[in-house]
Structure 1
Amino acid sequence: MVDLDAPEIRITGTTAVIEGQRIEGTTKSGKSRVVSLDKDTADALREHRKHQQEQRLCLGPTWKGTDDYVFTTGWGEPIYPTTVTSLVPNLIAALNNPKNGPKPKKPLPHARLHDLRHLHATTLLLAGVPVHVVAARLGHADPAITLRVYAHVINEQMASAADIFANAVKNSA
């Protein structure tokens, strides 16, 4: 569920495709979690919702959707997870090789959808967000899981912590 007034997302389950059928299930832990959104993301989702409502009005009774899903097909049905998974490399390729205009000076590397999750966690940890907060956003039941998966990031922070401490001591003398 997306609450754009809060703004936050409540993650209550998962979706998979098994033998061509869309299957909805619970999260690994069986618990829901809330992930806060920044203002720009909430604004982008509001704009998306507005566009979706316009599509709904144009299609009238042929619209097959409900308000349960943020991203749907053009006729309102929920999109398959494989659609989103295949979209990320396609978007990267389109950015790196635009039909019109120059190519970017620094093209984006190949990435999968799941890589964005790792990028999110790594960015938060390197920015100094506490491990327990990152763990909650990722849905890890225990911050120890986050510490194990992102040990390389924590080690980078530990190295910089030594420099921060040394500078603090030098500046206080």
Structure 2
Amino acid sequence: MEIKPGTLEDYRITIRLYIKPHIGKTKLQAVRPSTITKLYRDLLARGGRGGKPLSVSTVVHTHAILRRAFRDAVEVHEYLSSSPVDKAKRPRGDWREPGMIWTPAQLRTFLALARSHRLFAFFHLAAYTGARRGELLNLRWPDVDLGGKQITIKGSTGVVDGEHIEGTTKSGRTRVVTIDDGTVAVLRKHREAQDAEKLRGGESWKGEEDGHVFTTAWGGAIYPTTVTALPGKLIKAYNEPEDKDQAPVHPLPYVRLHDLRHIHATTLLLAGVPVHIVATRLGHADPAITLRVYAHVIRSAETAAAEIFARALE
């Protein structure tokens, strides 16, 4: 694709990886929903290495990346009047229920393990807000209102072809998520620690004033894989200590970083928080998405509904 004024130069990496091989030098404004739909069919048929098919989940992920990039082209840069990706027919992925979900006690154990790490606040905020990895890595201090006990999630950060790319949230919308007093205290302490790192770094500090909430020790951007890999390392160190006599009676099950989001949603739903409130906190564009993903949790709550109603009348 020709990258000219008026086209999506800010997303040159996304274009090169996902669009250019399939539509050649077509100008961005000429891309139609049918073009994107054909791209998905091609990826499913022969988009992998050596012309092998790509999985549905991979193509769905590609759709999410393109949707975010084109929405920014419409809403932020105003390169386009509408996004062709929104009208394209993407492959339907299977809605799978979340896998391992920790109990509240297991989550407390993990957060206790992470407390001594400089990124403890990241994992605490992930568990207590249900925010996505990229959303937290994109979070800036001006978007954190400690007095009002809320954070505003405006976008997401990812890495494509080795470069950091910032865009909108997965739904394309900004959302406000409330936080509790304990989380406010965690964030205050995190900012104090970051200010101390900034003083030690001096001129070598790479971060901006009132920049990202979560950075490296020298103020640089954190690679998503860093925070993704850390929970597994902490859990392994807990489950398999050097002194075998210190091994826990009840080892922590291994979970992914993204499962902290599932723990947040599941805990709220089992506590009786309405689905539409949980959907808002998670940033789901439609509560129907929450219903599908957490159907097993909602079924569990439904089982108890009759007894709850009977006790209320008693």
Same fold (TM over 0.5): yes
Higher relative contact order (CA 8 A, sep 6+): 2
Mapping 1:6-155, distance limit 5 Å: 6-66=148-208, 67-98=210-241, 102-155=246-299
1:15, distance to aligned residue in structure 2 (A): 1.1
Between 1:87-96 and 1:154-163, the stretch displaced more is 87-96
1:35-76 Cα offsets, whole Å, 9 max, x none, are 111111111111111011011111111111022211111100
Amino acid at match of 1:17: V
CA distance in 1 between partners of 2:187 and 2:292 (Å): 33
CA distance in 2 between partners of 1:136 and 1:24 (Å): 22
Q: Which blocks of at least 5 consecutive residues in structure 2 are unaligned?
A: 1-142
Q: Which residue number corresponds to residue 120 of structure 2?
A: none
1:98, distance to aligned residue in structure 2 (A): 4.0
1:102, distance to aligned residue in structure 2 (A): 2.4
Structure 2 SS opposite 1:113? coil
CA distance in 2 between partners of 1:111 and 1:151 (Å): 20
Higher strand share: 1
CA distance in 2 between partners of 1:118 and 1:103 (Å): 27
Amino acid at match of 2:230: L
Structure 2 CA distance for partners of 1:85 and 1:130, relative to 1, 3 Å: same
CA distance in 2 between partners of 1:95 and 1:9 (Å): 31
Amino acid at match of 2:187: L
- Give the total of aligned pairs: 170
CA distance in 2 between partners of 1:39 and 1:92 (Å): 27
Tell me the percent identity. 60
1:96, distance to aligned residue in structure 2 (A): 2.4
Q: Which blocks of at least 5 consecutive residues in structure 1 are unaligned?
A: none
Larger gyration radius, structure 1 or structure 2: 2
The two structures have a TM-score, normalised by structure 1, of 0.91
CA distance in 1 between partners of 2:213 and 2:239 (Å): 27
